[in-house]
Amino acid sequence: DQQVKQNSPSLSVQEGRISILNCDYTNSMFDYFLWYKKYPAEGPTFLISISSIKDKNEDGRFTVFLNKSAKHLSLHIVPSQPGDSAVYFCAASTSGTYKYIFGTGTRLKVLA
Amino acid sequence: GAGVSQSPSNKVTEKGKDVELRCDPISGHTALYWYRQSLGQGLEFLIYFQGNSAPDKSGLPSDRFSAERTGGSVSTLTIQRTQQEDSAVYLCASSIRGLRGVPYEQYFGPGTRLTVT
C-alpha cells in the first residue's frame, strides 16, 4: 500500500507559467512533508518543506500548500524556468520517527 | 563543505557475485539512510543508522542485503549473490536529527547505479 502518491508521472509547462505538482498521502500520522528535486545522474536535493501546523510555506518561486483534511499537498513553481526541468519527489514523515516515505516522482518539463 | 559521496558511481556485476557500495556522509550528520530506486519507481527505504543506536533494517528486501556503519561515519551496503532484480540506483543520504525527533531534510549522494547481468 503506497502511503505517498504522486499520480502524475509527468507534466509539461511553458516557460513563465505556473507549474503545479501534486501529492496525496493516506497516513494521517504524517506531520512533516518535503519536496525534493532530482536531476539525471544526481541525488535528490531538498527544495522546500512544510509542517502540518501550517498550510502554506513559501520560498522564492516555490510554494508548498498543505490541505490536511484532503491529505493533499502541492508544489507551485512560479514562474517556471527551463532549469526547473527535473523529477520532483514528495516525501512525508512523522515527528518522533525517522522514516521518510517517498512518492514515485513527477517528471516536470519546462518548455522554452 | 563536502556533500555526501558515494562510490562507485557505476557498478556492473555478474549474477551471483557480491558487491559493496560505499557512502561517506556529511561530517557531523548522525543519521544515515540507504534507499534504492528501481526504474520507474520511487525511493525505497532500505536501512537507517542513527548514532550508536541499533540500525533499523526493516527495509532490507532479503538476507542477501546487509549494511554497516563504522565509527558513526562511513557506511557500506553489501549485496551478496546478486540477482538481476537488484539492478537499481542505490542512494545514500544523511541528516541531522532534530530535537524531539523533528525530521530534518536529508542530503543525498549522487547514487551508485548497479547493473546485474
Chain-wide mean pLDDT for chain A?
Answer: 94
* Cβ-contact B15, B82 below 8 angstroms: yes
Is A95 close to B106, i.e. CB distance below 8 A? no
pLDDT in tens, A20-62: 999 999 999 999 999 999 998 899 999 999 999 999 999 999 9
User: Chains A, B: CB contacts under 8 A, how many?
Assistant: 63
For an interface test with B, the pick among A21, A33, A49, A98 (most B C-beta atoms closer than 10 Å) comes out as: A98
In B, which residues are within 8 Å of A100 by CB distance? Answer: 33, 45, 103, 106
**Per-residue confidence (pLDDT) for residue A41, from 0 to 100:** 85
| DSSP per-residue string spanning A38-76 | E-TTS--EEEEEEETT-SEEEETTEEEEEETTTTEEEEE
Q: Which residues pair with B23 in a beta bridge?
A: B6, B75
By C-alpha distance, the chain A residue nearest B46 is A99
Higher pLDDT, A106 or B72: A106
**Per-residue confidence (pLDDT) for residue B53, from 0 to 100:** 84
**Per-residue confidence (pLDDT) for residue B42, from 0 to 100:** 83
Cα(B10)–Cα(A98) distance, rounded to whole angstroms? 28
Cα(A47)–Cα(A110) distance, rounded to whole angstroms? 17
Is A43 close to B109, i.e. CB distance below 8 A? yes
| Nearest beta carbon to residue B42 from set A41, A42, A104 | A104
Q: 10 Å Cβ neighbour count for B37?
A: 23
CA distance A80 to chain B (A): 24
Low-confidence ranges of chain B (pLDDT < 50): none
Is A104 close to B41, i.e. CB distance below 8 A? yes
**Per-residue confidence (pLDDT) for residue A1, from 0 to 100:** 66
> Quick one: which of B110, B84, B117, B11 has its CA closest to A45?
B110
Percent residues over pLDDT 70 in chain A: 99
Q: Is A1 on the interface with B (CB under 8 A)?
A: no
Q: Which residues contact B19 (CB under 8 A, 6 or more apart)?
A: B11, B13, B78, B79, B82, B114
